[in-house]
Each structure stands twice: as structure tokens, then as C-alpha cells.
Chain A
Amino acid sequence: MYKIVSKRQLNPTVTELAVEAPFIARKARAGQFIIFRIDEFGERVPLTIADYDREKGTVSIIFQIVGKSTEMLASLEPGDFLLDFVGPLGKPTPVEGFKKVCVIGGGVGCAIAYPSAKALFEAGAEVDVIAGFRNKDIVILEDEFRKVSSHLYLTTDDGSYGEKGFVTDKLKSLIDAGNNYDLVIAIGPVIMMKFVSKVTEPYGIKTLVSLNPIMVDGTGMCGGCRVTVGGETKFACVDGPDFDGHKVDFDELMRRNTVYKAQEQKSPDHVCRIGLGGQKNG
């Protein structure tokens, strides 16, 4: 059992939890992920590690409510327990040896971009962060990013905060303005990562994306998280989750991520356990 020690609501649907997991906290590095299971009936759900405190022995996760498991997770309070919490899984993001890096986060992807920005910043790189959101109401981690970046550029789709526009527009203008990035890291919706990779490709800037396919075990056993990278099949859980954005087959990933969508939407028999009473859902 893994105790939740603190909880912070970052926006109406995005929550941060710090979980007591001293073994994982000792080893965790930016870019790695954990898998949680709420209770005996729960799914195994992967989430990238947002932060860790080696001394306190805690690991933080930041997540958006996208379905039943994340909704249940968001309903937990400090003092509650998670049944399972396993990690650190996957390979860490490379952070050594870069001079100038642009880290791009899209929406809740900023939660995953943050530890990478922080690790790169601490490793001595100059870090520009572009954090993109749909609108002002869902902006997260602004103060945190400011502390670990040379420049923070906030964009919103509707212009309600920061600059109006997409992260790709901002990235292109920064590159064109003469910023010589030797690495771009993009983390967010698959479609955003795809287009960031398209922006950097003509400039030949190394671009890493952090992939989030469906997986079960997270140790290379199920192969459910296979992605095609440069024509080869890779398992995101053990070969990634970071891959060369110029080589990833993003369209295939988007298709594979929809595999259970229909089932999730049309499950009249699905009994919602969130309300304790057990209500029919849908």
C-alpha cells in the first residue's frame, strides 16, 4: 500500500498527488514513469513521474481526469492509499551535454515536461520552455517552470493568457529568431508532438517526444505499447517512453490509442464505483 501524503488541485481537472514510495523516489529520474492501481478491481495505469523528493521518499504524479481510473484517483485524499505503485519504469530522458534546449509542454503534458526542464536546467543547459494551453483557466505549473527556465513562453489557443497561438508557432518563431537549440523536447497530445516534430525536422534539430501508449505491465511483457519508430517496432515501456520525434509513426500511435474508446463509451453495464453507492453509468 502506498500512502498519499499531499494533494494539490492545479486546475479543475488536473490534480497533483505526492505518494509515499521511498524505493522509487531513490531511483526516479526525469522522463520515467510509474504504474498505479487503485484497488483490487482497478486497471494498471501508467503516469509519468512529475517530481520526486529523495529525502522525503515521495513521488509526485500529475494527471488529468480522462476516464474512470483517473477520476477515482482524483477523488483520493491525503491519508488514503493506493494499492499498487510500481516504478521507476522506462528510460530516463537524456539531460547531460546539451547547451540550449527548448522544452515544450502541451496541456497536462506540461506535468511531464516540467521534470525534464528541471533536470536539463540543473545539468547546466539553457532552457526555454513553451507551455501551451487551450485557455487561461487550465494553465498549470507556471511558477514551477519559471524557476527552471531561462525563458518561459506561455501560449493559449484563445489568447486568454500569454500569447495567442499554438506552441508550434512559437517554436518556429524562436528558431527563426536565431535560437540555436541542440535539443527540442515535446510532451503533450500526440497531434502536438507530431507537429512539433514537423517544425524541427527541416532545421535538423534533434527532437524527443514522450509517448503514452496503452500498456499493461510496463516491463516489456505485453507488447501493447508497441510503436513504430524508424520502421522498427519498439516497446514504449522499455525502449522509451522518449523517442526521436522525426522517426515516430504518430498516426499509428493515435489509432492504437483509441482501441478501447468505443468500449469505454458504450458500456451500459458498467457500474460506476466512484459514488460508493454503485450507479449505472451511461
Chain B
Amino acid sequence: MANMSLRKVPMPEQDPDVRNKNFSEVSLGYTKEMAMEEATRCLNCKNKPCVAGCPVNVRIPEFITKVAAGELEEAYDIIKTTNCLPAVCGRVCPQETQCEERCVRAVKGESVAIGRLERFVADWHMEHSTKLPEKPAYNGHRVAVIGAGPSGLTCASDLALLGYKVTIFEAFHTAGGVLVYGIPEFRLPKALVQKEIDTLTALGVEVMTNMVIGKILSIDELFEDGYEAVFIGSGAGLPSFMKIEGESLVGVYSANEYLTRSNLMKAYDNRYDTPIRQSHSVAVVGGGNVAMDAARTAKRLGAENVYIVYRRSDAEMPARREEIHHAKEEGIIFKNLNNPVRIHGDANGQVLSMECVEMELGEPDASGRRRPIEKKGSNYTLDVDTVIIAIGTSPNPLIRNTTSGLDTNSHGCIVADDNMATSRPGVYAGGDAVTGAATVILAMGAGKKAAESIDLYIKSQTDSGRHRDRHDRGEHRDRDGRDRRS
């Protein structure tokens, strides 16, 4: 008999007034007892709606059944068959709009805490298991992956499991992409990301850091070097600004810069040399997860007043409810239905204040959300010394500018079909580089799909190559010249 409690087993968390002064993880994770209790809430439905709601189709009821039985390593193995980053997904996936939204238990009461259980299983494995995955036998084919973010890591992992020799080229000095430069330590500890990447290298994936593709090597050169297919998972790293007066004042950051300084470069830790502004009052412009991350980081770095300035209302906010809730608990002040007009500076070009105007909602716009309209004459000044612009990012132009025959759309996104194939044969793309800024799990789903497509592509090339070889030389060999008849 299932546990019919209408509520999830609550997640233990650091107290808001304590955690808003440190960078340790906010959510502390279930104990084994809590996890086993929560797992008994799963009805193990026949048609498994949750699995269809997951972009990488984690076998959810199966792993939860193992958790309920206390067979945690078995639960981990089930998750790992489709998800190479469970410790990450258990923390940052918007489960409430994916697997958990479709959970039958959510019809009456709260869904099963799928995300929390996934996190628990992944953490338990990292803590208790020293077992590394076995390196699959090399199938004789090499694939290049550009970008060590969620899509690239997933694509590389799936290809490595199929026997491909995969090299990931990462522009930064550390692999992880947005998982290390964007998402703060207090939501996703970087040591966990590193462990997930270590698992990948144990599979034989090579990660080359400090390699800015488009500069140090072009995609054409990767093919010349013998890679048979390329996956582009270069993300959406180019920050948008508002193009308002005062955006070049000292003290105005893109959220990318602010978060990169704090997360990747660890400016919050005084053992590290990278500086970050010591602010008293901070305005973060935007209403997404990145805005929440920037605001909560600013608070932790010591700012007394931190404002979220968002032009629509709470209902339209794209951030996860959990992030908004956590931000409010930590003392972030929400100024919804407010829009920046200009930023004022002092004689030295330092930010003094931000002029805002109040907004109201009109008819729905193209996005389906009600269009924000300025309330005439409602301008006022918010005293801040730092402004962080978190209104979105678009794909970095470095690759599209240096790759001929690669189609992109008017937003600079790489055009890829349902199989993640681009306009160039052998070149696949996925994640934010294709969709524009989206979620970790959607990028992972794209990386997974691309891995399948690349496998099919290389097999088809090899088959036709083998036909040619047989025709030409009466034998068949692979590209390295090894006899494949065995």
C-alpha cells in the first residue's frame, strides 16, 4: 500500500538568515529514511506519465521502487542508463513543469518529489561508491564536441558509451559550462559537477580546456584532424543589454560577468584573486533564474539592499517558483511591474541610482504573456550603486562567424532539425546554441538526441565507405585502415 500523504517529505534547508550570508548549499538533501519514505508515495503507474515528461526519459518509477526498497546503488544504475548528470538534474531541473507536473499524485496534493529523490540517489552514490564506469571498447571512430556544458557533456557521455572516442573542446579553463560559470555554488556545488565530469573522463572522454573553437581551431580543421562528426554545444553566452542611458557606467554588470566572477573565478572566496564590486545596494534587472541567482549572490557578497526589478508581474516571472521563494526568504526585495529607464552616475562615472518607471499589464503579446505598458509620469529613482542586467543571452557568434555553410537564424541561433543535424553534413548542434537561453535539462535532451543521430550518421558513412572500399580494393577496412572483417 502506497504512502498516501498529500505532501512531499519536506526538504531540509539552511535557515534563510544564515544562508544568505554563506555560499554553502541552500537545500541540505534527504536522509536515507526521508528518501525511502518519500519513495513509497510513488504509485508505480503502468503508463508512467512522469517518464514522458522528462527530456532524457529517466526511468523514474523504476528507480523510485529501488529507493523504496533501500537498494540505492541499483537505483543509481537505473538513472544512469539515461542521465549522465543526475546530481545536477536533481538540483536544477524545473521538475515542477516536467516529470512532477505529470505525476498522478499531483492531481490531488503534491507530486512525488522526483527531483529530490534523484538528487538523493546521486549524492548517495557519490558518497558511498568508488566504482567508476567501465571504459567501453573503442569502435574506431572519433567525434569532437564543442563546449563542456550540459548538452556537450551528455552528447559526449552517450557517444562514449557506444564506443566512440570523444574529445570535448572547452573555451574556459574548467569544464561544466553554465553549471560552473552560471549556477551558483549555493544551488549546485562545483565539487559535484567535477565528480560528474570525472565519471565522464573515466569513460574515456578527453576534455581539452582553453580551446576556443573558431579561434584556435575551426570546425573544418577538426574534420581534417580526423574527427568524423562534430557536435556544437557552445551555449548562449552573449549577454544582452537594455541599450538604456548609463549602461556603461562603472558598477553596471551583465549577470554573466557578475556570476562568472563569483562562481567560476570564486570572487566570493578571499583566497582567490578575482575582484568583484563590494556593493551596498544592488538592482538586478530581469525575472528569470539568472536574475534570482545574481540577486542571491549579491546578498551573500554583503549587499544590504538587493532589488529584483522586473517589468511584468509575479505571475509572468520565468524563474522557478522555488527560486523566487528562496530569494524572498533571503530578503531580496521584488519590484515587479517596474522597468529601468536610465542609470545615473556621479562625476567619476560610478553608478548612483537607477531611474525606473512603473508598469501595468495590457493585452497578451506574441509570447502569450500580458504586455507591460508604462504608467506615464510614474518615474522614480532607486538608490543603488550596482546594477546587474539579467535580461537574457544569445548564442556566441564565434563559431557561426568562422564556419562556412552553417545556417543560423535571425537571433544568431544555429539552425538544427529534429535530429539536431545542422546545414553542414556531419555537424550537429543542440542546447542553448540552437534554442537560445533555456534549461540545463533541455540542453541535455538535445545532446542525447544528437548522440543518437551522430551514431547513425557515422554508421551510415562507414557502411557506404565500406561498400566503396570493397568495390575498390575487394576488402573492407575502417578509416584507420584496420581490417574490420573480424
Binding site for B on A (CB under 8 A): 23-24, 27, 37, 41-44, 68-69, 83-89, 216-224, 226-228, 233, 238, 249, 252, 255-256, 258-260, 263-264, 269-271
Contact = CB atoms under 8 A, between A and B. Distances in A.
Given A41-B273, A88-B215, A223-B256, A216 B398 contact: no
B272 to A, nearest CB: 5
A216 B265 contact: yes
A248 to B, nearest CB: 12
Contact of B253 (A217, A218, A224, A263): A224
A233 B241 contact: yes
Given A69-B273, A220-B238, A27 B278 contact: no
Contacts of A217: 171-172, 237, 260
Contact of B250 (A42, A227, A249, A256): A256
Q: Is the interface of B mostly helix, strand, loop or mixed?
A: loop
A87 B257 contact: no
A264 B397 contact: no
A238 B247 contact: no
Given A37-B173, A87-B212, 5 more contacts: A219-B398, A221-B238, A223-B253, A258-B250, A263-B277
Nearest to B171: A219
Contact of A256 (B239, B243, B349, B397): B349
5 contacts: A43-B275, A86-B171, A86-B212, A86-B216, A223-B241
B137 interface: no
Interface string B266-286: 000011111101100000000
Given A88-B215, A89-B212, A217-B260, A222 B171 contact: no
Nearest to B275: A260
B185 to A, nearest CB: 15
Given A86-B173, A238-B397, A221 B239 contact: yes
Interface of B: 171-173, 181, 209-212, 215-217, 237-239, 241, 243, 247-248, 250-251, 253-254, 256-257, 260-261, 265, 270-275, 277-278, 348-349, 396-398
Contacts, number: 116
A24 B257 contact: no
Nearest to A90: B215
A222 B397 contact: no
B395 to A, nearest CB: 10
> Among the interface residues A222, A224, A238, which one has the most CB atoms of the partner chain B within 10 A?
A222
A210 B165 CA distance: 41
B270 A269 contact: yes
Contacts of B272: 41
A123 B243 CA distance: 40
B213 to A, nearest CB: 10
Nearest to B217: A23
Contact of B273 (A68, A238, A256, A258): A68
Nearest to B349: A255
A263 B254 CA distance: 20
Contact of B209 (A27, A84, A218, A264): A84
Contacts of A263: 275, 277-278
A238 B265 contact: no
Contacts of B215: 27, 87-89
Contacts of B270: 269-271
B239 A222 contact: yes
A210 B259 CA distance: 27
A91 to B, nearest CB: 10
A174 to B, nearest CB: 34
B237 A221 contact: yes
Contacts of A69: 273
Contacts of B398: 219-220, 238
B250 A255 contact: yes
A220 B275 contact: no
A222 B254 contact: yes
A222 B260 contact: yes
B396 A219 contact: yes
A276 to B, nearest CB: 15
B273 A221 contact: no
> Among the interface residues B209, B215, B260, B270, which one has the most CB atoms of the partner chain A within 10 A?
B215
Contacts of B171: 86, 217, 219
Contacts of A41: 271-273
Contacts of A86: 171, 173, 210-212, 216
B406 to A, nearest CB: 17
A85 B254 CA distance: 24
Contacts of A270: 270
